[in-house]
Structure 1
Amino acid sequence: MGEVGSFDSLNPWILKGVAAKKITLTRATLLGRSPEEPFTMYGVVAETLEFPENRAWIIFNIRPEARWDHGKTITADDIIFSYQTWLEQGQPFMKTYYRKVQKVEKLSDKRVKFTFDPEKSDREVPLVMGMMPLLPKDVYEGKDLSKISLKPLVSNGPYRIKSFEPGRFIVYERIKDFWGKDLPTYKGRFNFDEIRLDYYLSESILFEAFKSGKIDMMEEENPQKWKWNYAFAASKKIKKEEVDHKRPVGMSSFVFNTRRELFKDARVREALTLVFDFEHLNDSLFYGMYTRTHGFFDNTELVPHGKPTGQELAILNRYKKKVNPKVFEESYQPPVNKTPAQKRANVERALQLLKQAGWRLEKNKLVHEKTKTPFVFEILLKSKEHEKVALEFGRNLEPLGIKASVRIVDEAQYERRKIDFDFDMLYYLWVGTRSPAGNELINYISSKAADIQGSRNYPGIKDPVIDDLIQNMLQSKDRAVLVANVKALDRILMSGNYVLPLFHLAKDMIAYKERLAHPTLQLMMESRIESWWEKA
């Protein structure tokens, strides 16, 4: 397999460094997710669970066969040590989660109990604890794991790290006697004896590696490349597949950093969004294969449609004086710039909004009325993958007198600037889900996270209504109530113009060597290398 970028760390649970991809192949957690079921968890290291109806505590009963790669079995001491380590040394979002624990108790060598703080806890916390990365106490007690390290963590999963060279490659080796190989969670998965991940400086170099046979599979996201660059496939025994799907697509976007004075005013952000010419991009570069993204939960039942009704309307009515009146109108529809008339109308509307926000055109340059500062900003990228889109957006802004430059930096610098919120605008993809976890949303869009370096609240969203809706989701016992809260949340997020929504594909484009095979992909499934195999 191939990846664009680099890595200088083998620990993805700390802020420092860029961790190698696929590290989770080496990990097994107390509970494991099912890719096809929204936030459903099954026992992995934990054989059984005990918890009351109100989820005030949870007991994990550890499988007697669960063990570390160095031979020792996993114990309650390891679970408690892992919790204490990540609470002190983990990423900010981990500390936020684990501070909701009031007490942890070792009930026996294979039995551990977490009791949650009733003032901080919610119904998700027991499941969050089940996904905690685990560490063997006998190896890491007294060690500082917050520092960048290239020493592999002891594995308890189906693979171990066999070899690596920082920034160039990493090889994962299947553990033949992996303790969990017969668990239902692992049946039919993790079929390769080795998985090698090579790193390349750019998408073009990665693609050449695929053409030359060094890479076995490519998941293509660029329709232009898919149409023209794979002519070699048949002669090289490469199979091409297009697979329609109904999976969550997330939010691919250019993110406004509202911590910057330039983007504090929502009218400014809306103005810039108005002139983005998706239609021209899609027709001229992508053969009409992309679909414009309409919200953070697109392609799921969570995306709102039309005007709010029922529970969704009742929720929004509670905040009527605190939200944008637009949330009570038709659901968000991206601006359309297909015809010259539409483009003119959107430019005129954008200039009106900018004027209201204190900006005006002088000699074809947009300047602030009071400070005379020109409207200039930088779009930060980590690869050339989105450069054409960013440059085209820059051209769309020219009629407004705005100058947007595009800067591509290496992955380490990109991650550092992202962590420090040191950017005007950047590209980011919020991963989609059919059942958003409120605890994850705290890290992404809560007021608290906006001021925590290393959180994923890149726009700097601070809205007490959004904070309230997250808490509503955390306490939801009923799916219908959760869905109504998420739809209301999406309306409020989109009305704030915190991001410029881009686009997504409604199909997977996969090219791979004919000797490989994968399960039949259902509409809700995604292609995962963990489920592929090599033909006999």
Structure 2
Amino acid sequence: MKPCLNRTIAAAGLAAVLFSGAWLPASAADPEWHTSSSLIGTSKYGEDFKHYDYVNPDAPKGGTLNSTTSGTFDSFNPYIVQGNAAAGFASFGGGLLYDTLMEQATDEGSVSHPLVAEAYKYPEDFSSATYRLDPRARWHDGKPITVDDVIWSFNALKTHSPLYNKYYANVTEAVKTGDREVTFHFDQKGNRELPKIMGDLVVLPKHWWEGTDASGKKRDISRPTQEPPLGSAAYKISSFKPGSEIVWERVPDYWAAQLPVKVGRENFDKRRYTYFLDDNAAWQAFAKGGFQDIRPESSARRWATEYNFPAVKAGDVIKAEFATTSGQPMQAYVMNTRRPQFQDPRVRKAITMAFDFETMNRNIFFDAYKRTDSYFEGGELASSGIPQGKELEILEAYRDKLPPELFTQEFKLPVSDTPQAARENLRTALQLFKEAGWVNRGGKLVSEKTGEQFRIEFLGNDPIDERVATPFIDSLRRLGIDATLRIIDEGQYINRTRSFDFDMLALSSFAQSQSPGNEQRDFFSSKAADTPGSRNFAGIKDPVVDALVERVIFATDRDDLLAATHALDRVLLWNYYMVPQWHLGKVRLGYWNKFGIPEKQPSYVGVDIDSWWIDKDKEAALAAKYKGVN
């Protein structure tokens, strides 16, 4: 498993989309203003929300959180395809710099609370959404955040960000409908999620982006920049060394510091990110101390065998696991079906049959992981058994376009728990290849028509990818496939994945929400397959998938959503677009013992680092004992 902490929390963040009153109708005559919202049910905090129940509201501010990251950066604009954005920025959401209209909850699925917007409302037919801005909302230069900022941000993001373009595909316009009110109009009715996920909109400063820099040059939101932008959130850029380090500092007069979602959080005065070549180098820096205070651990081998250096033995570095209830991402080897060798589903199934998870889990991962077998792993959204009830009704409309076994067999991934089972799976794979026109001649799997050998180049961006890809490559080579792995730097990897220039990704992760909706277009739609920068890495272009994605988005209630999601999950699985990997269900952290930590952490995301704070006594003790640790 290779999720970083930010990716894990981001998964839960994207999952927390908005909807007030679950699936209850609003009044047609006078829509009600909503504050905290939920797509599943009402928030546990109700209207008397003071702060998250797990935080220390009196947590002290101060100190520096040191972090590491891999690769490099050349831009402070994360919302465009060009450039590599610096750590602390986010392509979805505001990152450390910008606030969104509402903030996704850390401790409840599909819940959001007020931030830039203090409330929102929507009509009974869900044809629009109106957000009312908090009059206290300010940019770091003291100017108020206005409706004009929101409208400008919406237009800029839809134009330049592939992610937001897909997320808000059905939003036709944003218009000013009051001094502090902005209304978003939709081109379709009945999309119950859309009024609420407008709260995920990041708000950018129109006056700054339309202004000029120190040299008098007009700024351009469509281009990368290394000029620190004006923001509105709890942090701003303090300093940076191009490509190697960026330091953020807490804004002492942050306008939202006393809002319920912020009380007891964002306690570090500074957040420093140091760039390293790869994760191995970052690990060495963590063990030495001073560069990385908290390490999200992605390596089961390292977690089991290498947390034995002196600081761990002395109790100065702590190992901790935090269970999550937010569901698990689909982490997978991703086949690029834009490549001709992957267009036959029998080939994709054959490649799936060749993956021996059980041996890898035992030999490499210390039996730490479970096999992922759903695009919506870890909850009621995952399909199971054979289709029944409303799910079956949905799928019946596409019966002639789906594999017949989808209706009669439970989807199961191959199991290689014995040497005999592993050999049988490879024999099945060879038979599937033969049916698809590929035969083994002289130890090479070649096309019956052209004699060309079947080739797969796995693409990775981290040395750990070699460990997770090599056993699979060995199995594919036993079938006669010319399988190789190429590890490239982060910048190259971003550019190649954005342009879909790869055969197969060694590892990719697709975070899902507990209320899936518009983001499914970016994952799986035909339009996204042709859009550089989308997350449809597999190149899925299937009218049935397109229809089911829309069925999910326009579900009429929770039961309808579950049935539609089960149907989508099942169709994706039976088409074998990806080879599912594994999941843990926990966040693993190693951290230097310099923090104050609330007694409990939010079970939904597992851990909220923003609720931690620097314990000055602990920090001083470490600094005295280990040179450079602070």
| TM bracket, shorter-chain basis | over 0.9
Correspondence for 1:133: 202
CA distance in 2, matches of 1:286, 1:397: 20
Q: In 2, Cα distance between the equivalents of 1:425 and 1:56?
A: 40
Amino acid at match of 1:151: E
Q: Is the 8 A contact 1:296 1:430 kept in 2?
A: no
User: What does 1:270-419 correspond to in 2, within 5 Å?
Assistant: 270-419=349-498
Equivalent of residue 609 in structure 2, options 525, 529, 532: 529
Question: Is the Cα contact below 8 Å between 1:270 and 1:350 reproduced in 2?
Answer: yes
Residues 301, 434 of structure 1: 8 Å contact kept: no
Aligned position for 1:81: 152
Are 1:437 and 2:508 an aligned pair?
no
Q: Partner of 2:401: helix, strand, or coil?
A: coil
Name 1:176's counterpart in structure 2: 252
Q: Give runs of ≥4 in structure 1 deviating > 6 Å.
A: none
1:30 Cα shift? 0.8
Q: Can you list the C-alpha shifts for 1:234-262, whole angstroms capped at 9, x where unaligned?
A: 32611111333333221111100001011
Distance 2:431 2:187 in 1: 50
Q: What displacement does 1:98 show?
A: 4.3
Is the counterpart of residue 39 in structure 1 residue 113 in structure 2? Answer: no
Give the stretch that moved more between structures: 78-87 or 241-250: 241-250
Does structure 2 conserve the Cα–Cα contact (< 8 Å) formed by 1:191 and 1:530? yes
Q: 2:132 aligns with which of 35, 43, 61?
A: 61
CA deviation map 1:2-26 (0-9, x unaligned): 1122221111111011112322011
Q: Is the 8 A contact 1:300 1:434 kept in 2?
A: no
Which residue does 1:144 correspond to in 2?
220
Q: Distance in 1 between matches of 2:377 and 2:173?
A: 39
Unaligned runs of 5+ in 2: 1-66, 90-94, 211-217, 617-630
1:516 is displaced (CA, Å) by 1.3
Q: Tell me if 1:224 matches 2:301.
A: yes
Residue correspondence of structure 1 range 255-274 to structure 2 within 5 A:
255-274=334-353
Are 1:101 and 2:171 matched, yes or no?
A: yes
> Which whole-Å CA distance do the structure 1 matches of 2:237 and 2:374 have between them?
38
Tell me how far apart the structure 1 counterparts of residues 143 and 356 of structure 2 sit (CA, whole Å).
58
Matched-pair contact (CA < 8 Å) for 2:372–2:583: yes
Unaligned runs of 5+ in 1: none
Contact 2:361–2:369 under 8 Å retained in 1: yes
Residue 187 of structure 2 corresponds to residue 117 of structure 1:
yes
Alignment of 1:194 with 2:270, yes or no, is: yes
| C-alpha separation in 1, matches of 2:410 and 2:74 | 43
Partner SS, residue 336 of structure 1: coil
Aligned partner of 2:344: which letter? D
CA-atom RMSD, angstroms? 1.8
Q: 1:131 to 1:219 in 2, by over 3 A?
A: same
Kept after mapping to 2: 8 A contact 1:305/1:330: no
Distance 2:464 2:242 in 1: 23
Distance 1:29 1:494 in 2: 34
C-alpha deviation, 1:291, in angstroms? 1.0
Local SS of the residue matching 1:510: strand
Name whichever of 361-370 and 308-317 sits farther off: 308-317
Instruction: State the alpha-carbon separation in 2 of the partners of residues 197 and 211 from structure 1.
Output: 16
- Aligned residue pairs total 534
Residues 181, 187 of structure 1: 8 Å contact kept:
yes
The answer to whether the 8 A contact 2:109-2:604 is kept is no
CA–CA separation in structure 2 for the residues paired with 1:525 and 1:80: 31
Q: Distance in 1 between matches of 2:520 and 2:566?
A: 14
The 2-side partners of 1:98 and 1:304 are apart by: 27
Counterpart for residue 235 of structure 2: 159
Matched residues, percent identical? 39
Identify which range, 348-357 or 37-46, moves more after superposition.
37-46
What secondary structure does 1:26 align onto?
coil
Q: By how many angstroms is 1:330 displaced?
A: 4.2
* Contact 1:78–1:134 (CA under 8 A) maintained in structure 2: yes
| Worse-superposed segment, 526-535 or 379-388 | 526-535
Give the Cα separation in 1 of the matches to 2:577 and 2:510.
Answer: 16
Q: Distance in 1 between matches of 2:101 and 2:535?
A: 25
The whole-number CA distance in structure 2 between the counterparts of 1:103 and 1:294 is: 39
Equivalence for 1:206: 282
TM-score (norm 1): 0.96
- 1:27 maps to 98
Q: Which residue of 2 aligns with 1:13?
A: 79
Q: Output the CA distance in 2 between the equivalents of 1:11 and 1:389.
A: 32
Cα distance in 1 for residues equivalent to 2:378 and 2:300: 19
Corresponding position: 1:456 with 2:535: yes
Give CA deviations for 1:270-309 in whole Å, capped at 9, x if unaligned.
Answer: 1111011111111111111111111111112211222222
Matched residue SS, 2:378: coil
Instruction: Give me the whole-angstrom Cα distance separating, in 1, the residues matched to 2:439 and 2:262.
Output: 61
Indicate if the aligned counterparts of 2:601 and 2:608 stay in contact, CA closer than 8 A. no
Give 3-state SS (helix, strand or coil) of 2:518's partner: helix
**Alpha-carbon separation, structure 2, partners of 1:236 and 1:266:** 52
Amino acid at match of 1:31: M
CA distance in 2, matches of 1:434, 1:180: 26
The Cα shift of 1:64 comes to 0.9
Deviations 1:403-462 (A, max 9, x none): 211000011111111111110001343343342432111011011111111111111101
Deviates more, 1:280-289 or 1:314-323: 314-323
How many Å apart are 1:497 and its aligned residue?
0.5
1:305-351 deviation line (CA, Å, top 9, x unaligned): 22222222222222222212232244432211121221221111111
1:471 aligns with 2:559: no
Counterpart contact for 1:275–1:350, Cα < 8 Å: yes
Following the alignment from structure 2 to structure 1, what is the Cα–Cα distance between the partners of residues 597 and 390?
A: 41
The Cα shift of 1:522 comes to 5.0
Equivalent AA in structure 2 for residue 94 of structure 1: Y
Matches within 5 A, 1:234-245: 234-235=313-314, 237-245=316-324
- Equivalent-residue separation in structure 1 for 2:246 and 2:408 (angstroms): 51
